[in-house]
Structure 1
Amino acid sequence: MASGAGFDISEAGTKKNAAVSLVTDRAEVSAIANAGPDALSIGVEEFTAALAGSTARIKTVLGDQNLIAGIGNAYSDEILHTAQLSPFAPANRVDAPALLETIREVLGQAREALFDLPPAKVKAAKKRTFCVHGRAGQTCPVCGSTIAEVSYADKSLQYCPGCQTGGKKLSDRRMDRLLK
């Protein structure tokens, strides 16, 4: 029987970003009870159906833990860069089997790079493997274009216009309003 005892892990700030729970069934943890299938174990048919049923931007769908669990903001940027897809592409127009292969490739490489590292070294190790995430203004290691960013109130996304959007910069509504 569970005691209910636990502890929280968070980064500096007021937002609760992480927690650890020891349970026998994820339904016992409300934050993940409705999580979708794990990104590394979802089948092609299920993934294809999830994308086909959504007109949302692919970046949004990849980060929706209720549809596919385990892909966060950083790795969705990296997956879309590797797949050469615009973050704004409608999910139902994406080649789902090809994208799923890319997800498995990117997350598999991440797992290998981070395996057996002590927790204190994981964040720095992750950052070293990123091509676009957190690298706005830097040069894309694939094509040499400048990595661009779209900012939202609580997060941002990074992408390579050369690799992902045919050289076009995506609209950053926050910056667009300032420039008017």
Structure 2
Amino acid sequence: MPELPEVQALAERMTADCAGRTLTRMDVLSVQVLKTFDPPAHALHGQAVTGVGRHGKFLDLATADGLHLVLHLARAGWIRHRGSFPDRPPSRRGPLALRLVLDDGSGFEVTEQGTTKRLAAYVVTDPLAVPGVARLGVDPLGGEFTAEMLAGLTSGVRKRLKTLLTDQAVLAGIGNAYSDEILHAARLSPYALAASLDGEQLGRLYAGIREVLSGALERARTVAGADGLKAEKKAGLAVHGRAGERCPRCGDTVRSVNFADSSLQYCPTCQTGGRMLADRRLSRLLK
């Protein structure tokens, strides 16, 4: 799933490709993707694009007349810039969900692989009309996110750190992969309770959030094409998706806890005092 660094890099690339151009039309190839009906999708046709922003993991294509196309790529969605499109009509079969055609013949293809369809598109006059955007918490790379704010967000909160970091109503844009990376960088257990952190641990967590996300964003900005963002993300990960490999910091074996539809990875030496987390949904530190 694309997370904050990849979505921000996509927003910047899309802005460079389409700001100042007119959106000639939007072809909706997968009806279930479009989650709104008023304004209708065709209201975007002929609209001048002012740029593409980001809200957490949401992309926000804004137009001069105040309409917004808000996209959430979910787990298997992606978006690619095309210099031109074939003359034949797009097929309604396959991964292609949306096609955005600009006045110079270029545009974007929004696709979704797999059978679980969670890609979502909204045509709105205000991004806050999208429920997922309205409930977002603070942007962890924004100037308002400080160590003091993090202390307030964790004070008295009896949530595991893994759960807290991936709660979009608390911190917008962090998902499964970067939460693992942040906790590894901060040398904290994914199952530690937020309320239990002392000042020194909070400082490590804050530094981990800022450093992991900003570093990933800088790497994403150097990738030539949108498809390269996925490979760059994977290459830059220290523990996520690397179960059975050596921890780059201490050399211990990276371990995994698997759930029904997700997993987390961690280093026992760096994060849990050498103890292993039980591999079940309600796992706890083995005693």
Q: Does the TM-score normalized on the shorter chain lie above 0.5?
A: yes
Q: Does 1:28 align with 2:129?
A: yes
Equivalent position to 1:12, from 114, 119, 122: 114
| In structure 1, C-alpha distance between the alignment counterparts of 2:166 and 2:259, rounded to whole Å | 14
| In structure 2, C-alpha distance between the alignment counterparts of 1:4 and 1:75, rounded to whole Å | 36
Report matched runs for 1:154-169 at 5 Å. 154-169=261-276
Kindly name which structure, 1 or 2, has the bigger radius of gyration based on alpha carbons. Answer: 2
Deviation string, structure 1 residues 74-125 (Cα, Å, up to 9, x no partner): 0000000000000000011223333112111110100000015321111111
Q: Does 1:111 align with 2:217?
A: yes
Q: Does 1:37 align with 2:144?
A: no
Q: Give, as a single letter, the amino acid of the residue that structure 2 aligns with 1:107.
A: L
Question: Going by fraction, where is strand more abundant, 1 or 2?
Answer: 2
Contact 1:9 1:19 in 2 (8 A): no
SS across alignment from 1:133: coil
Contact 2:40 2:123 in 1 (8 A): no
In terms of mean alpha carbon deviation, does 98-107 or 81-90 score higher?
98-107
Q: Give, as a single letter, the amino acid of the residue that structure 2 aligns with 1:14.
A: T
Q: TM-score, normalised by structure 1?
A: 0.86
**Compared CA separation, residues 170 and 37, structure 1 to 2 (3 A):** same
Q: Give, as a single letter, the amino acid of the residue that structure 2 aligns with 1:170.
A: L
Residue of structure 1 equivalent to 2:202: 96
| In structure 2, C-alpha distance between the alignment counterparts of 1:113 and 1:164, rounded to whole Å | 25
Residue of structure 1 equivalent to 2:158: 55
In terms of mean alpha carbon deviation, does 4-13 or 24-33 score higher?
4-13
Q: TM-score, normalised by structure 2?
A: 0.56
Q: Does 1:126 align with 2:229?
A: no
Unmatched tracts of structure 1, length 5 or more: none
Contact 1:9 1:20 in 2 (8 A): no
| In structure 1, C-alpha distance between the alignment counterparts of 2:135 and 2:229, rounded to whole Å | 27
Contact 1:139 1:146 in 2 (8 A): yes
Pairwise CA distance, 1:53: 3.3
Contact 1:80 1:86 in 2 (8 A): yes
Contact 2:250 2:270 in 1 (8 A): yes
**Please, what is the CA RMSD of the aligned residues?**
2.1
Question: Going by fraction, where is helix more abundant, 1 or 2?
Answer: 1
Percent of pairs identical after alignment? 46
Aligned residues: 173
Deviation string, structure 1 residues 116-157 (Cα, Å, up to 9, x no partner): 532111111100000100000111111111100001111100
In terms of mean alpha carbon deviation, does 97-106 or 126-135 score higher?
97-106
Deviation string, structure 1 residues 41-65 (Cα, Å, up to 9, x no partner): 2233322111113111000000000
Contact 2:246 2:252 in 1 (8 A): yes
Contact 2:186 2:207 in 1 (8 A): no
| In structure 1, C-alpha distance between the alignment counterparts of 2:206 and 2:155, rounded to whole Å | 13
